[in-house]
A and B are shown apart, each in its own frame.
Chain A
Amino acid sequence: MKIYLKILMFVVLSISFIGCDRNEKDILDPNEVKETMVESNSMYNLMDYSPNVYHDYFKETNNKFGISSLKANSFLPYSMVKNVSLTSNSQNFSFLINNKNYNNQDLKKEVKIGNDIYGKTNKFTIISEDKSGKTSEKDINLYVPELINIKNPKVKNEKQAMPVCYSEGFVLEWNADSLNEEGLVIIVEYFGENVIPSNNTNEHLQNIDMIEEDNGKIVLKSSIFNNIPNLALVDLILLRGNVKIEEIDGESYKFYAESHQRLPIILVKDLSTIKRAESN
């Protein structure tokens, strides 16, 4: 199960995966550059250096049904979406969680859902109908960890909307979930932005690590900040969830649910570069 979760996290997190191959180009008249562009082939670069177990997670299944929740910063509520992709030949499908129907007419369109699936074991149900009109129903039980909530660094007010954090001995705290046996994923994402604008670049890095125990506190490895410069603007992303892959009537199905929170920070690697000014 632990392996499944890790793999799932990365599938769900495909959102968050790294790219190293970049092709930079100006897309307007070079005499009047209004924009720059960087393209990455994200996930496959991750496969080059991740443990092999993660490679397996990129295997495609016939069908996918997932719930993803994002807390974009400490002040905003969660934004929840449903992701469904189907390659099945069956005529009709219905997806239910705890007997509540999550279908809509356009199954590939993301829709907002409730948050009543987190912190408990849920029954995911698929009801399919073949061309002859015969229906079949399959149930899958999946524990979905509590919605993630970062507690430290804590954003107390607008002045600390982007807290200044020292990279060495970085303590990260969150709401623990003792029932989550799958651990968490921590990502540090750097968009090439720096406090000092002349130091901005077109880099885009995402350093990833696993947190094995969901006990609410960890000191981050310094390596997770590798290749990120002093005074960079970065996002800490903490994610946890669960995944299950099942074969149903000859087709593979991937079910998942996760939540993740972004915490924008200013990363300090050299404390001597912090200067104090008078408060206004």
Chain B
Amino acid sequence: MKIRLPLIAFLSFAIFQSCKFQDREPQDFSCEWNIEKTIPFNDLQLRIPSYGMSNYFNNQFPESQTDGIIRQLTTVMDTRGDYMTSKPSNASLKTTLKLEGTGCIGEKTVTYYQGSPKISGNTVTIPFVSNDVFAGEVTIILRSDVFQDYANGSSYQVIWRMTGNDPDNVNGNVYGSKTGFAGDTQSIILPDDEPVIIEGNEIL
């Protein structure tokens, strides 16, 4: 009853108002991804994890020995790790743009790899639409190349994640997360002091 009453009320209202509302037809609101937009990052400070980084990583990213902050996207994209260096870099930058405006509704995901001209120091250029203005969110996932953790016989990347609802003001001041893994056993490698949250409780 709790659900039905407002549902009936809503449907009645919707029918009553039907002459005022227009159903959206998908073809009327499809996005025309035929232009590009450059997303600037506000206060881009990619913070290097302050724990567990290898000597090789610290040598590759001198910032880790100063203030621990990377201020260029290209620094992450262009820096090679020490894991399978003969293969293409695993560094990547994935953007997902979701639009919900008056002109169109849709989303597009683009993944850029090392050497992409769409990435500059503190901007990324992504597909955009010609039939709407920005109303929605953009999410960016930036991953470093893979580094070796010889002490544990595993590998790791650093991952930074950013989301913004203002295309001209995406906050780039974020902590990076070191994610260790063992590809051969398809496992995540966690430090002893990093908990796993199970049923709401932190388990070490």
A: residues with CB less than 8 A from B are: 1-4, 7, 11, 14-17, 19, 33-44, 53, 56, 58-62, 64, 68, 70, 72-73, 75-76, 79, 81, 83, 85, 87, 108-110, 112, 152-153, 158-166, 168-171, 173, 191-193, 195-200, 202, 204, 219, 230-231, 233, 235, 245, 247, 250-252, 262, 264, 266, 268, 271, 273-280
Contact = CB atoms under 8 A, between A and B. Distances in A.
A274 B186 CA distance: 9
Interface string B150-162: 0110100101011
A62 B102 CA distance: 10
Contacts of A61: 20-21
Given A58-B23, A72-B164, A196-B186, A252 B98 contact: no
B161 A73 contact: yes
Given A2-B6, A60-B21, A233-B141, A72 B171 contact: yes
Contact of B20 (A152, A158, A171, A251): A251
Nearest to A22: B109
Contact of B188 (A163, A266, A278): A266
B41 to A, nearest CB: 12
Given A35-B118, A56-B11, A72-B164, 13 more contacts: A3-B9, A41-B26, A73-B174, A76-B173, A87-B102, A158-B47, A158-B49, A162-B177, A166-B199, A169-B199, A171-B200, A235-B163, A247-B20
Given A56-B14, A61-B20, A158 B112 contact: no
A64 B105 CA distance: 15
Given A268-B196, A273-B186, A278-B191, A81 B166 contact: yes
Contacts of B157: 197
A68 B199 contact: no
Interface of B: 2-3, 6-7, 9-11, 13-14, 17, 20-24, 26, 30, 33, 47, 49-53, 90, 92, 94, 96, 98, 100-102, 105-118, 127, 133-137, 139, 141, 143, 146, 149, 151-152, 154, 157, 159, 161-166, 169, 171, 173-177, 179-183, 185-200
B20 A62 contact: yes
Contact of B198 (A62, A166, A200, A277): A166
Contact of A277 (B47, B133, B154): B154
Given A61-B20, A280-B191, A195 B33 contact: no
25 contacts: A19-B106, A38-B110, A40-B108, A59-B14, A59-B23, A60-B22, A72-B162, A73-B163, A75-B174, A76-B173, A76-B174, A81-B165, A85-B135, A109-B133, A159-B51, A160-B194, A164-B195, A165-B196, A193-B94, A204-B96, A266-B188, A274-B190, A274-B196, A279-B191, A280-B53
